[in-house]
A and B are shown apart, each in its own frame.
Chain A
Amino acid sequence: MAARASFIAVVALLALVAGAARASNEEGDALYALRQRLTDPNGVLQSWDPTLVNPCTWFHVTCDQASRVVRLDLGNSNISGSIGPELGRLVNLKYLELYRNNLIGDIPQELGNLKNLISLDLYANKLTGGIPKSLSKLNSLRFMRLNNNKLTGSIPREFAKLSNLKVIDLSNNDLCGTIPVDGPFSTFPLQGFENNSRLNGPELQGLVPYDFGC
């Protein structure tokens, strides 16, 4: 009886291990899909070998002890191309550091699936389009730096729900409308919003429409 119980335990453990391996491989596939979008003149992604069981030995990728991808450090790497929806599959990601590159295109709304994300650093790229509302689902987010891009539209008002947000920098874009004033926004310095020619200062609740000037 005890033998059978332990056998079941071993089977369950194996199933778990297999499950974990598959999960991390999915993360590898997502990262590899990103690699295929990117031009990489400095070869910083050359170690990204899709045939490995997981991406934990790829450079610029950090896993936790359970081999789940928790960091992507590609700041200042001279990569260009678009980000793409597949990054939304890195559900264990905590730090997404893609700053100071030549990334173009939209910020994919799928990044809103990264529930564990602590830092979203996309600053100093050439990103266009709006800031996806879905980012307001990132409850763990502490750092959001999207400054020095070409982002347009308004700052999603739902960002006021991001109660853990400590640093936000949306400066040097082409954003419009007004700035939320609730939640963490009550403490953010205005520096983080400067140089958006059509951004009209803090929201004037009840007096001016939120999208005023858009």
Chain B
Amino acid sequence: MHAMAILFLLALGGAGGCVPAEREALLAVKRGFSSDPDGVLGSWTTKHSNCCQWAGVVCDNNGSGRRVAELRLSNADAVGSSGLSGKISPAFTNLTRLEYLDLSWNSLGGNDVRFLGSLSRLRYLNLSGTDLVGEIPPQLGNLSRLVSLDLSFCVKLYSRDLSWLTGLSSLQHLDMSGVNLSASVYLQRDVNMLPSLRVLALSNCALSTTVTSSSSTNLTRLQRLDLSWNSINSSTVNAWFWNVPTLRYLDLSGNSLSGPFPESLGNMTRLQELYLYSNNMVGMIPATLHRLCSLQMVDLSENQINGSMSEFMDRLPRCALRRMQVLQLAKTNMCGELPQRIGNMSELTSLDLSFNKLAGDLPPTIGRLSKLTRLSLMDNNLNGSLTEEHFSNMVSLEWIDLLRNSMSMEVRPSWRPPFKLIYACFSHVKMGPRFPAWIKHQSNITHLDISHAGIVDTLPHWFWKSFRDAILLDISVNQISGRLPSSLRFMTSAFGIIFGSNNITGSMPLLPEQLRVLDLSRNSLYGPIPSEFGGPELLELDVSSNRISGTVPASLCQFPNLLHSDMSNNNLSGHLPKCRNMSSDLGLITLILYKNNLSGEFPTLLKHCHTMRFLDLAQNMFSGILPEWIGTKLPSLTHLRLRSNTFSGNIPTQLAQLGYLQLLDLASNRISGCIPRSLGNMTGMTKEHTPLVRIPLADHHGLGNDEILYFTKIYLHIIIKGQDRLYFSGVIYMVSLDLSDNLLNGQIPEEISYLNGMVNLNLSRNKLTGTIPRNIGDLQKLESLDLSINELSGAIPSSLSDLTSLGYLNLSYNNLSGRIPTGHQLQVLANPSYIYIGNVGLCGPPVSKKCSSGDDDNNSIQTPLRGDRDLTKITVAVGFVVGNWLVICSLLFLKAWRSAYFWTIDKAYDVLYVFVAIRLAKRGKKITSTNSAD
């Protein structure tokens, strides 16, 4: 008692309202932290003796003195900072009056926090995002006064047994999102012991069906329930989480819930927010929903609702329509038209109906939605026109995505829309032919996409001024003419300028500092590329299909981030820069230079391109040998096109070291010598090889993911099935070897049949001798095979007919001989006579020359098989006769049948028998004669 009095005096007087023992405890806490990068504990010094005034410290103010009641040391708001790190000092336990402790988002990994269980007055504990590792200490269960416990985003924590939770009898708020609870099989039982619980958040806890399967709950006060992103896949209807009538917020997104939306949803009459997106639920929402008059936010995206939008709107609670703020139904297989009454949802701020099958006109009543900020209708079948009325009162609209519908926009040139857009995607909405004047005043736009908009006009002078601060400008695939201004390089915010497929003229300007993507392909740019064209951050540069002349500037060597460069189909000439004295390698993944007038030897700059995947130098005037270093300096190469140049010399055996190479096109050069046997080692051309679909993009500022880069930007010409085809996305699966039209001699190595992923093989127009590899039938994926115009001899291997995917075959003009194999796929190839023309020794169908017995010697494997087959035919015919006769005999004895089918049956038996016998005898002759004609 005495001691207490002294403490009291100290607290009031000399120490300025702070209990020294607690001050010491706080200083010990501070010492425990080894790092405080933001100086949040800067005020915790003895200089400021009143610890109640230290940052983050709150003292209570009751009669017994100023005691530390709250420690608010959250790092949640400090972006990018690791916050406090080091040891959580046990001195915390000296803060005996502590009721509130927030250490969230500090770096407290490796600490043992068992002692926190002795802070018996604690009502609020927040350790979220603190990197704590291991099992949650059950000592936390001693905190019987705890009202709120937040362990969310402690992704290294786990718990196998949550029975300690039952000690937290006052708990109202429990958030363990991100903690691995997969082994806590009694989770539901333990949670059920917390009758005061109002908020339960267990998102991303690896919960499975077993821990949530029970059908009832004691949680009679629960208002918020978040079980999103777990693995709950129970047949949904009976699970307890559908039967909590007190809920205001329910989030079950990202599970595997299946079956229909349960009727019991209709009992949650206080529900305001319902999030069920990304599950497998099927069918229309239940009619019971009409009782949910408080509903404000609904996200059912990525389920299979499979119904009409009109029916869906009918089932939404009518009493809630005017309160509804968010309606998200993306990818729900919704069809029909958007009903007029959408215009009555006057509080709507966000509407997402993207990726559905909505059809028809957009109702003009949508223009009444004055609070709508975000509207996404992309990927539907909407058509009709968008008029001024559609936007008449949309004063709040900031974000609109209408991509890929069949709509047109019909507004007056003088229209001044009521909104100020930030994100505007009107791709595929017909806006032309005049350039839409209304966007002139939409200068807040950071992302503008008016591609595929049918605009046939000049680019207005105000465009560059209005969108001076834009991040992305996409006006591609229109017929917009004009020049790029020299002021382009001052567009300091621009990340992407996508102007492809227009009528842009003039020369290429200097590029802005921050630019990542430049697409000026398919325009009419002329003149040389400036030697220092700027854009040091460039990832993608596409100036293909213009009339650009001059050389490829040496500054190409100075783009460490450049991944994709396409300058094909221009008038570029001269040698490629050598990129000598490079400090670091180039990061190029694709270099497409086909169809120019480039010359010189195989470019040495490629020695610095270790990451190169797609290299296309076709249709230029490159010459000299193929250097051996291709096999070592370009280890990532998947597609190599060098066709139609004047390369000479041998195919270097080192090419086979390119383990990912799946397309090699050396056609129409002057390459001589043999086809190296080592080509059989190219694992990239085997079935077991999986294509490198993804490009690992390091931190490239999050612009566009790698697959988009692949699918939209990579394309190659491939000559296959006698046709020149432009491959886009399919190119990543293509396995092709084209060595045609060279001076190759010697045999086709038998090893080529190891390359069993091959789709296209063309060795035509060389001087190859010897036989067709006997195991060519191992190339099971082969769709096109051209060996024509060589000097191949011997028989066609019968294994060729095993190629079930073969759609094109050309063996013409060789010295092949013997019987043509007759297997299935060879029978159904088009123009059969052209396949074999110019091989005088071949016989049998489809050529007219008949085979003699000697021809089969070439194909000796086939002979016994054919003999066997004839034998079966005869047996079959005999069997058929006998079997049929038996049927007819049995008919004779079945009186009912007889009277039903045979009207003059008594005499018919003889007639029938004779008839059948004659027919079959005739047929038997035909079988034999057909066989001998074979």
Cα distance A56–B808 in the bound complex, in angstroms: 14
A49 and B730 form a contact (CB under 8 A): yes
A47 touches B825 (CB 8 A): no
- Report Cα–Cα, A97/B824, bound state, in Å: 10
**B residues 63-95 with Cβ under 8 Å of A?**
none
B901 engages A212 (CB within 8 Å): yes
Cβ–Cβ contact A56 & B725, under 8 A: yes
Cβ–Cβ contact A70 & B830, under 8 A: yes
Across the interface, B880 reaches (CB within 8 A) one of A59, A100, A121, A201, namely A201
On chain A, the residues within 8 Å of B728 by CB distance are 49, 52, 57
Stretch at the interface among B130-138, B212-220, B620-628, B915-923: B915-923
Could you tell me which residues of chain B, from 670 to 692, have a CB within 8 Å of some CB in chain A?
Answer: none
Q: Which of A47, A57, A94, A121 contacts B725 (CB 8 A)?
A: A57
Most buried by A among B723, B828, B923: B828
Q: Could you tell me if B828 and A143 are in contact, using CB atoms closer than 8 angstroms?
A: yes
Residues of B within 8 A of A73 (CB): 783, 804-807, 825
Residue pair B927, A189 in contact (C-beta under 8 Å): yes
- The answer for the CA separation of A121 and B828 in the assembled complex, in Å, is 9
Residues from 889 to 934 in B contacting A, C-beta threshold 8 Å? 901-902, 908, 911-912, 915-916, 919-920, 923, 926-927, 930
- How many angstroms between the C-alpha atoms of A35 and B56 in the bound complex? 62
B901 touches A76 (CB 8 A): no
Interface size on B, residues (CB 8 A): 45
Q: Counting CB contacts under 8 A, is A191 at the interface?
A: yes
* A194/B876 in contact, CB under 8 A: yes
Q: Quote the shortest CB–CB distance from A190 to chain B (angstroms).
A: 5
Please state if B926 and A187 are interface contacts (CB–CB under 8 Å): yes
| B858-885 interface with A by 8 A CB criterion | 872-873, 876-877, 879-880, 884
Alpha-carbon separation in the docked complex, A26 to B385 (Å): 25
Give chain B nearest CB distance to A178 CB in angstroms: 10
Over the window 80-115 of chain A, the binary record of Cβ atoms lying under 8 Å from chain B Cβ atoms (1 yes, 0 no) is: 000000000000001101011000000000000000
The 8 Å CB contact of B887, one of A70, A75, A100, A200, is: A200
What DSSP secondary structure best describes chain B's contact surface? Answer: helix
Contacts of A77 in B (CB 8 A): 804-805
- Which residue of chain B is the closest to A194 with respect to CB atoms? B876
CB distance from B484 to the nearest CB of A (A): 28
Chain A residue nearest in CB terms to B880: A190
The answer to whether B827 has its CB under 8 Å from any CB of chain A is yes
A51→B887 CA distance, assembly (Å): 57
Q: How far is the CA of A48 from the CA of B912 in the complex (A)?
A: 55
What range describes how many residues of A lie at the interface? 35 or more
Q: How far is the CA of A65 from the CA of B722 in the complex (A)?
A: 9
CB distance A97 to B828 under 8 Å? yes
Q: With A58-B730, A194-B880 in contact, do A99 and B824 touch (Cβ < 8 Å)?
A: yes
Q: Is A207 an interface residue (CB 8 A)?
A: yes
| Chain B: minimal CB distance from A182 (Å) | 13
Determine whether the beta carbon of B876 is less than 8 Å from that of A207. no
A120 vs B32: C-alpha distance when bound (angstroms): 80
- B475 lies within 8 A of chain A by Cβ: no
Cα–Cα distance between A213 and B884 once the two chains are bound (Å): 12
Q: Are B825 and A75 in contact (CB under 8 A)?
A: yes
Residue A11 at the chain B interface, CB threshold 8 Å: no
Query: Given A57-B725, A57-B726, does the pair A118, B828 have CB atoms closer than 8 Å?
Result: yes
Q: Once the chains bind, are A62 and B808 in contact (CB under 8 Å)?
A: yes
A-B contact count (CB 8 A): 119
Q: How many Å lie between the Cα of A178 and that of B480 in the bound state?
A: 68
Contact B916 A97 (CB under 8 A): no
- B730 touching A47 by the CB < 8 A rule? yes
Asked if B629 CB lies within 8 Å of chain A CBs, one says: no
Of B729, B807, B824, B888, the contact of A49 (CB 8 Å cutoff): B729
Interface residues of B in 702-728 (CB under 8 A from A): 711, 718, 721, 723, 725-728
Asked whether any CB of chain A lies closer than 8 Å to the CB of B733, the reply is yes
Could you tell me if B804 and A97 are in contact, using CB atoms closer than 8 angstroms?
Answer: yes
B720 CB to closest chain A CB, in angstroms? 9
Q: Closest CB-CB distance, B827 to chain A, in whole Å?
A: 7
B828, A207: Cβ atoms under 8 Å? no
- Output the least CB separation between A181 and chain B (Å): 8
- A residues in contact with B733, CB < 8 Å: 46-47, 59
Instruction: Point out the residue from B727, B873, B912, B916 that lies within 8 Å of A57, measured CB to CB.
Output: B727
Task: Assess the B908–A207 pair: CB atoms within 8 A.
Answer: yes
With known contacts A65-B723, A190-B923, A143–B730 Cβ distance under 8 A: no
A119 in contact (CB, < 8 A)? yes
**Is the pair B915, A207 in contact by a Cβ cutoff of 8 Å?**
yes
CB proximity of B449 to chain A, nearest CB, Å: 17
Answer whether residue A184 sits at the interface, using C-beta atoms and an 8 A cutoff. no
Q: Is the C-beta of B421 less than 8 angstroms from some C-beta in chain A?
A: no
Q: Does B759 contact A (CB under 8 A)?
A: yes
Q: Which residues of B contact A126 (CB under 8 A)?
A: none
Are A119 and B884 closer than 8 Å at their CB atoms?
no
* Given A73-B804, A189-B930, A191-B873, residue A119 in contact with residue B828 (CB < 8 A): yes
- B888 — nearest CB in chain A belongs to which residue? A200
Question: Which B residues from 724 to 776 make CB contacts under 8 A with A?
Answer: 725-730, 733, 759
Check A202 for interface membership: any CB of B closer than 8 A.
yes
Contact between A76 and B804, CB atoms less than 8 A apart: yes
Asked if B876 contacts A190 (CB within 8 A), the reply is: yes
Note all chain B residues with C-beta closer than 8 A to A143.
827-828
**Interchain nearest-CB distance for B832 vs A (Å):** 11
Q: Evaluate contact between B730 and A59: CB separation under 8 angstroms.
A: yes
| Residues from chain A with Cβ under 8 Å of B783 in the complex | 59-60, 62, 73
B196-210 contacts to A (CB < 8 Å): none
Report if A209 contacts B (CB, 8 A).
Answer: yes
**Residues in A whose Cβ lies below 8 Å from that of B808:** 62
Chain A residues whose C-beta falls within 8 Å of the C-beta of B711 in the assembled complex: 49
The answer to whether B824 and A75 touch across the interface, beta carbons within 8 angstroms, is yes
Task: Please measure, in the bound complex, the distance between the C-alpha atom of A189 and the C-alpha atom of B908, giving whole angstroms.
Answer: 26
Measured CA separation A181–B922 after assembly (Å): 12
Whether B926 pairs with A189 at a CB distance below 8 angstroms is: yes
Known: A73-B807, A95-B828. 7 other contacts (CB 8 A): A60-B805, A73-B783, A73-B825, A75-B804, A190-B923, A202-B923, A207-B915
B interface list, Cβ under 8 A from A: 711, 718, 721, 723, 725-730, 733, 759, 783, 804-808, 824-825, 827-828, 830, 872-873, 876-877, 879-880, 884, 887-888, 901-902, 908, 911-912, 915-916, 919-920, 923, 926-927, 930
